[in-house]
Structure 1
Amino acid sequence: MNVFTWFSDRNNITFLIAIAGFAMSLYNFLRALWDRRCALSIDYVNHHCSPCKGHTRFEIRMNIQNLSSAPLSIVRMYIICDGKSYSFAFPAQEVMEFTHTKGGIETRHSEVLSQSLPFTISGHGVCGAYFAAYLPPELQSKLEGKCKFQLAVQTPQKRVVFDIDAHNPGLDFEEYGFFTNA
């Protein structure tokens, strides 16, 4: 039986179109799952620790990149240190307060706030922000210099854990001005 006789039968052509349609539908379904996956990366920028009313106030500046084409919601975030998990603050927290003076006159008084949770990052988007957590006082000495810890990011789909090599402790004085109160 040759190919031309097989294609001359209308039922065979209908069967071939049905198989091609099924294959394309399966491909589109798997591609949609792949595009909506929970894929993100974290780029550490810097961190700072300070005592605050019986706690250690831990602030981290980082960029979170959504690697998928679908929007990604970040519901909660945690720092994991010494095997224990500590939640980042939900509402925005003051990270820095600063002024600019010109000729002895205060020209601007501003504050920098942390990112409030939850938040959404658009497809292939990036959110660069500060995040604040209140930790037990005994963690200050461990986290105020160069250190290693883990960050857990909770999305509606899953929880992703990142190992962070925190090599840049300190504040962003050069970028934002003069620190007056935090």
Structure 2
Amino acid sequence: MKAHLELILAQAPPGSSGACLSRLGREMLSRLAARRGLDCPLADWSPRGQGAPRHPSLPMPWRACLSHRDGRVVAGLATVPVGIDLEHARPRHGARLAELVDLLPEARVRRAILEAASPLGAFYRAWTLHEALFKLDSLAGRPPGSVLETRLSRLLPGGGVQAWQWQHDGWTLSICSHQRRLCIRSLPRLAITPETVMG
């Protein structure tokens, strides 16, 4: 079977709590499953806070992925393991960008961010890749001790992980998979492009 990832991006009502965003994400996953002819009732998704969402009626090879930030939710179903992360730029991060960049573990990534035309945008591209790699490793049952124990050097061309990214108007979405070719469909349609290691 060709590797597929189907994504839905949605905006929650202002002031929605984390629990509301998780519920909306699971509703979106149920809708994605229904589009595939699969009956995955909302009540049967695994609870929030227990890793990637799981459902007893979601057959292999389908797997769920979910991320949310600042009222926006992205939910996906894939035929291969994928890690996804969605982030939204925050003014306070811009004010302490040098401090945040110093936290990143790879010198060439830090250097590439500081030399970028938009350092804050470059930081979010790197950060979401670390988060997506962490989630991908967690799906394989080998979660690193922390997000910053992941390494962007694992991305192609030198590593074995393919990454895709979308960035627009302060939002950044990163997707990581061991599958080099992944047919990505998203609603709304996003210009998701392949990404390689920074620097």
Using the size of structure 1 for normalisation, the TM-score is 0.26
- The structure having more radius of gyration, on CA atoms, is 1
Using the size of structure 2 for normalisation, the TM-score is 0.24
Tell me which protein shows more strand as a share of its residues. Answer: 1
